[in-house]
Amino acid sequence: VVHRDLKPLNVLVNKNCDIKLCDFGLARGRAGFSQDDDDFLRTEYVGTRWYRAPEIVLTSMEYTAAVDIWSVGCILGELIGRSPMFRGKDFLDQIRSICDVLGTPDD
């Protein structure tokens, strides 16, 4: 399952520190997509902006479960830094924010 909207509000922790994910409204069935699959071309606008992977911010219609890994990294960064890592006001500001931290891509 690719959740596609991981953010702190969708990560539940109980008193035993058991972690559960919620809100699977944007989720898709599996991570191993091929171009022949109907799910390969996916919805462009998924995920909450501050936790959205760059390939989604850049409107790529082709992405994998890696978008959830990016979101988890953003959540962990927020836990450590006690503030969201990438606070973009819009999609362009979001990309600038990511590039400020990670640098620009070589390709």
Catalytic center residues:
5
Mean pLDDT (the chain, rounded)? 85
Residue 19 pLDDT: 96
Structure-model confidence comparison of residues 33 and 101, the more confident one: 101
Q: What count of other Cβ atoms lies within 10 Å of the Cβ of residue 26?
A: 17
User: Which segments within the chain are labelled E, that is strand?
Assistant: 11-13, 19-21
Question: Rounded to 5 degrees, what are φ and ψ at 72?
Answer: -60, -40
Name the pLDDT band for 84 (thresholds 50, 70, 90). very high
Domains of the chain, first to last: 8-102 (1.10.510.10)
The Cβ-side half-sphere exposure at 44, using a 13 Å CA radius, reads 5
Q: Please, which residues have CB within 8 angstroms of residue 1's CB and are 6 or more apart in sequence?
A: 24, 27, 28, 29, 30, 31
Q: Report pLDDT for 45.
A: 56
